[in-house]
């Protein structure tokens, strides 16, 4: 059975780069390094990436709420929402990886020296 892992890319939400202080900072596991990290432990079956406009924010209230979800305080989110034009469609980038537990070969044990 394949297990699934989902990760966002560190350059997610590019339309908000000017107002998100941590934007672009790599994560310990994200879409850029996810396949490599999965491959160190699992047999990677498939990687599916996406990069498309997905989230539509119709007005500044919706934008401020979205920015709250991205870690900004209420005050910073409201100020950032006033600086950006709405409506705004936000691009989502990321990956889904399917991987299987590696099959281990037979364990060869040797006895004490001389046996």
Express each pLDDT in 54-85 by its tens digit. 999 999 999 999 999 999 999 999 999 999 99
Question: Does the pLDDT at position 7 exceed 80?
Answer: no
Is pTM, for the whole model, over 0.75? no
DSSP three-state, residue 24? coil
Residue 67 lies in a domain: yes
Question: What is the domain count for the chain?
Answer: 1
Taking the C-alpha atoms of residue 111 and residue 115, their distance in angstroms, rounded to an integer, is 6
Which residue is listed with tokens 């889904």?
A: 96
Residue 96 lies in a domain: yes
Residue 54 lies in a domain: yes
Q: Please, what is the Cα angle at 29 between 43 and 53, to 5 degrees?
A: 100
In which domain, by residue range, is 39 found?
3-101
Q: Which residue has the higher pLDDT, 82 or 104?
A: 82
Residue 89 lies in a domain: yes
Residue 46 lies in a domain: yes
The DSSP H or E segment spanning 6 is strand 3-8
Q: Which residues lie closer than 8 Å to 22 by C-beta, 6 or more apart?
A: 71
Residue 110 lies in a domain: no
Q: Which residues lie closer than 8 Å to 35 by C-beta, 6 or more apart?
A: 44, 47, 95, 97
């Amino acid at each position: 059975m394949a297990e699934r892992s989902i990760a966002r890319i560190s350059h997610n939400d590019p339309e908000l780069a000017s107002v998100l202080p941590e934007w672009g900072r790599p994560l310990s596991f994200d879409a850029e390094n996810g396949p490599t990290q999965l491959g160190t432990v699992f047999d990677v079956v498939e990687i599916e990436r996406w990069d498309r406009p997905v989230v539509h924010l119709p007005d500044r209230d919706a934008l401020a709420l979205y920015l709250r979800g991205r870690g900004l305080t209420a005050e910073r989110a409201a100020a950032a929402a006033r600086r950006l034009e709405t409506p705004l469609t936000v691009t989502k980038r990321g990956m889904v990886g399917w991987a299987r537990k590696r099959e281990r070969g037979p364990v060869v044990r040797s006895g004490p020296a001389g046996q």
